[in-house]
Chain A
Amino acid sequence: MRELLRTVSRYLTWGDYLVIALVLLGTAATIPLLHQTAEASGRWAIVRLDGQIVHQLSLAQDYEVTVTGPAGETVIQVQNGRVRVLRSPGAQEICMRQGWIHKPGQVLICLPNHVTIEIPGDSGVDAISR
């Protein structure tokens, strides 16, 4: 091993070392960048009406948003980095009773009003058979 290193080092100039160091540094620099984009995806919620994106909600602030769908108004609340549905038409009130969501991959579905709220990201499954 030591022999090999000595042979290799004999053929490398300081310029080669510089290039190698730059490549390594560059690669290392992109790793936190990749990590960051994955993290950031969890700080948004995408609101769709009939499949069309109507809002991209930042989870960094607290506020309420109203979406008007075919059955009426769906009121969405953002608080402490979480999202929930405050009010939405529909007798079963399924999307309200689901409560808060905050993890990537979680979805709220208000079927009667054709509204879905999704926190994008990898939930570990591609779909759920339900």
Chain B
Amino acid sequence: MRRTLSVLKIFIFIVLALSLVFLYLQGRVAVVQEEHYLLGTYFRIKAQSRSHDQAQRAVHEALAEAKRLSEEFSRIGAGSLGALNRYGASESVRLSDDVFTVLEAAERYRELSGGAFDHTIGKIVDLWGFTQDWDRAGVGRIPSADELQPLVEEPRQISLDTTAKTARLSSPNIEVDLGGIAKGYIVDRVVEILKKHELDSALVDAGGNIRVFNDRPRKVLWFEDRRPFRIGVQHPRDESKILGVLEIWGDHALATSGDYQRCFFADALKNIFPCRYADEPDKIRYHHIIDPKTGQPARGLISTTILAPTAMEADALSTAVFVLGEQKGLALIESLPNVEGILVTDNGRIVVSSGLKDINFPTELP
């Protein structure tokens, strides 16, 4: 009796010890995080997998693709978009598959938003000094009505040939700038690559333009360690604060457009002061989200955050909704499936779309 008991005890101890080791191995995940400077901003990938090598390979491949794409979408560079901007008014220009896809999508969003999203106003944006290398130049200017008027009134049409993958611009005054949508597209392509490698979960953050997926929750025995990604939404008037946190399950993208991202201030004498989050007393803020109908910075909203299935959609819609303003912007959000938004108005109200009524956000800027 005593003998069988001690054998049983030893057996139980071994089983206990083995299950502890098993639990430990099950719960272990490799996290690989890499950050690069791309598209004029930081580009961060954080990938989780059961295998470190697998995560590393996935992140490397994804970053290489992001680098390649970021060169394709330079509007002045050697890629096909640069060529379109240089010769597109006089001849049809053959575009790369990626540029064509995004240009087609941009045309769709222009139509969908009634012209609030407009990728053809590169020349107007340039007049304000918000050039591609803004972070280095960093000084804006206020263009005169005489400078703006002809560019604003000019009809800006792009004819696309889907079979030949060519595009032609209706006027030399068009400068195609896919900056408001290409970043999202690149994030989506990166996510595609990460998913191909069957990672458990990943976060891609291109300067605040974010997409996450949580395909396979970590499993410890029968427990699923289901943890959402927690994404903060930037406070538009205080750099060190966030408005609140969104808990994201599954596969979603987020993008924010704000008047604090690229801006400058001007006083009554038109002296220019550098951009910052907080308002400057007695000075007017001029920012980079230009209303294509007026050629002036869009007024009414100071920040729009869009939650959408893809980063490209979130990217384009955050700009479109910012320009449309509270009423029309919300209506656009509500008309689209699986799209939600958080808008901050210039008098400090925080408005959320119907699908986000349950989130714990303040109703006014704290």
A43 located at the interface, meaning its Cβ lies under 8 Å from any Cβ of chain B in the complex: no
* A112 lies within 8 A of B230 (CB): no
Contact status of A50 and B138, CB under 8 A, knowing A126-B203, A129-B233, A129-B305: no
Q: Of all chain A residues, which has the CB nearest B239?
A: A98
* A109 lies within 8 A of B42 (CB): yes
* B136 lies within 8 A of A126 (CB): no
B232 located at the interface, meaning its Cβ lies under 8 Å from any Cβ of chain A in the complex: yes
B231 located at the interface, meaning its Cβ lies under 8 Å from any Cβ of chain A in the complex: yes
Residues on A with beta carbons closer than 8 Å to the beta carbon of B36 = 50-51
Interface string of B75-109 (1 = CB under 8 A from A): 00000000000000000000000000000000000
Instruction: Name the contact of A126 in the complex, choosing from B9, B40, B46, B234 (C-beta under 8 A).
Output: B46
* A129 lies within 8 A of B210 (CB): yes
Contact status of A116 and B232, CB under 8 A, knowing A48-B35, A93-B274, A127-B210: no
Q: How far is the CB of A31 from chain B (nearest CB, A)?
A: 15
* A19 lies within 8 A of B208 (CB): no
* A51 lies within 8 A of B245 (CB): no
Contact status of A126 and B137, CB under 8 A, knowing A11-B5, A51-B34, A114-B37: no
* A130 lies within 8 A of B261 (CB): yes
A97 and B231 alpha carbons, distance in the complex (Å): 24
The residue in A13, A90, A91, A129 that gathers the most chain B C-beta atoms within 10 A of its C-beta is: A129
A114 and B133 alpha carbons, distance in the complex (Å): 13
Counting contact residues on chain A (CB < 8 A from B), the size range is 20 to 34
A129 and B256 alpha carbons, distance in the complex (Å): 6
Interface string of A109-130 (1 = CB under 8 A from B): 1011010100000001111111
* A130 lies within 8 A of B234 (CB): yes
* B231 lies within 8 A of A129 (CB): yes
A50 and B15 alpha carbons, distance in the complex (Å): 49
A94 and B263 alpha carbons, distance in the complex (Å): 12
* A125 lies within 8 A of B230 (CB): yes
A3 located at the interface, meaning its Cβ lies under 8 Å from any Cβ of chain B in the complex: no
Instruction: Name the contact of A112 in the complex, choosing from B34, B135, B256, B261 (C-beta under 8 A).
Output: B135
Counting contact residues on chain B (CB < 8 A from A), the size range is 35 or more
Interface string of A6-44 (1 = CB under 8 A from B): 000001010010010000000000000000000000000
For chain A, residues 41 to 71, give those with C-beta under 8 angstroms from any C-beta of chain B.
48, 50-51, 71
* A90 lies within 8 A of B231 (CB): no
A92 located at the interface, meaning its Cβ lies under 8 Å from any Cβ of chain B in the complex: yes
Interface string of B126-139 (1 = CB under 8 A from A): 00000000011111
A51 and B240 alpha carbons, distance in the complex (Å): 22
* B136 lies within 8 A of A125 (CB): no
Interface string of B5-48 (1 = CB under 8 A from A): 11001000100000000000000000000111100111110100
24 contacts between A and B (CB under 8 A): A50-B36, A51-B37, A90-B135, A91-B137, A92-B274, A94-B276, A98-B239, A111-B41, A111-B135, A112-B135, A112-B138, A114-B37, A125-B231, A125-B232, A126-B231, A127-B44, A127-B208, A127-B212, A127-B231, A128-B232, A128-B233, A129-B208, A129-B231, A130-B256
Known: A94-B276, A128-B233, A130-B234. 16 other contacts (CB 8 A): A19-B13, A90-B135, A90-B138, A91-B138, A91-B139, A92-B138, A92-B274, A92-B276, A97-B276, A98-B240, A116-B35, A125-B232, A128-B242, A129-B208, A129-B209, A129-B305
